Homo-oligomer: A and B are copies of this chain.
Amino acid sequence: MNPVSIFPVPGLPEIVNGASLATLILDGVQRLGLALEPGDVVVVTQKVVSKAEGRVRSLEGVVASPRAIEIGNRIGFDARHVEVILSESVRIVREAPRVLITETRHGFICANAGVDRSNTGGREFVVLLPERPDESARRLRESLRERSGVAPGLIISDSFGRPWREGQVNVAIGAAGVLALRDYRGQRDPDGYELQGTELGVVDELASAGELVMGKLDRVPVALVRGVSVAGDDTVGRLLRDPATDLFR
């Protein structure tokens, strides 16, 4: 049986608004001595997608509302940063010192609505999540197909905290050309017993696997995963639970 291989795609420059991520990714894959193959999955961190899409805001241009100032004072956070977080959120889930857990417009529940102040080419800037990450994934996949002739699975990932366990893990926030869920329901195990309720969030497992070669500091924002069979046509939107049926909420 062949292994699954996860390659760090090296050498991407600092990404600016309008950058062609597809070209930069293909250059990086070439530097690995490889070319995209059918069945490959490319995992890209949210931050470079956001930067290429111009989802960067200067805090100098942000006017904090009274509500943002009040929250900022309470949690010890720059009120302008709070303002941007609120603009990306539909509700606040929890406040704590120096962090807001919110539900984003996309339906993600995460720290600071994914609005990040690090790694942005200067301290006075913040990077927002892509406006429609599934659509970003679809477009980037299409650009890769146009330039290489191969349409890989495409996953945009970010590191989110979670309940009950310390540590963030990489999850998918956007996807195209992959299965989001692998469904074992109705199948039978070797003893003939029907597998109950077994759907695996394979798109998140791929995002986590990609993180193993990325690292936060050494600027590897792209991973190439080879050897998995996850072709499909899902989005991450499909993965978000209906709160009414969410037993874990």
Identify the A interface with B (CB < 8 A). 1, 3-8, 10, 32, 93-94, 96, 98-99, 101, 108-109, 111, 117-123, 159, 161-171, 180-182, 184, 187-191, 193-202, 204-206, 208-209, 211-213, 216-217, 219-220, 228, 238-241, 246-249
Select from chain B the residue with minimum beta-carbon distance to A183.
Answer: B167
B residues less than 8 Å from A109 (CB atoms)? 163-164, 248
- Cβ–Cβ contact B167 & A180, under 8 A: yes
Measured CA separation A6–B212 after assembly (Å) = 12
User: Do A1 and B6 contact each other (CB < 8 Å), given the known contacts A167-B204, A195-B118?
Assistant: no
The docked-state distance in angstroms from the alpha carbon of A168 to that of B93 is: 23
Q: Contact check: which of B10, B93, B94, B200 meets A211 at CB < 8 Å?
A: B200
Given A3-B7, A164-B249: A209 and B201 interface contact (C-beta under 8 Å): no
Q: Are B1 and A247 in contact (CB under 8 A)?
A: no
Majority SS at the chain A contact face:
loop
Kindly name the residue among A118, A165, A188, A193 whose own CB sees the greatest number of chain B CB atoms within 10 A: A165
Tell whether A163 pairs with B163 under 8 Å between CB atoms, given A1-B10, A205-B212: yes
User: Are B247 and A189 in touch, CB under 8 angstroms?
Assistant: no
Whether the Cβ atoms of A166 and B199 lie closer than 8 Å is: yes
Is the CB–CB distance between B6 and A193 below 8 Å? no
User: Quick one: copies of this chain in the complex?
Assistant: 2
Check if A199 sits within 8 Å of B164, measured CB to CB.
no
Residues of B with C-beta under 8 A to A165: 171, 201, 204, 239-241
A-B contact pairs, 19 of them (CB 8 A): A3-B8, A99-B247, A118-B189, A118-B196, A121-B191, A159-B200, A161-B247, A162-B162, A163-B163, A165-B204, A167-B180, A167-B181, A169-B208, A170-B200, A184-B217, A188-B217, A200-B216, A205-B209, A208-B208
In the docked arrangement, what's the CA distance between A187 and B215, Å? 12
Q: Whole-angstrom distance between the alpha carbons of A96 and B99 in the complex?
A: 33
Q: CA separation between A196 and B213, bound complex, in Å?
A: 20
* B contact residues around A202 at 8 Å (CB): 167, 212
Q: Which residues of B contact A161 (CB under 8 A)?
A: 247-248
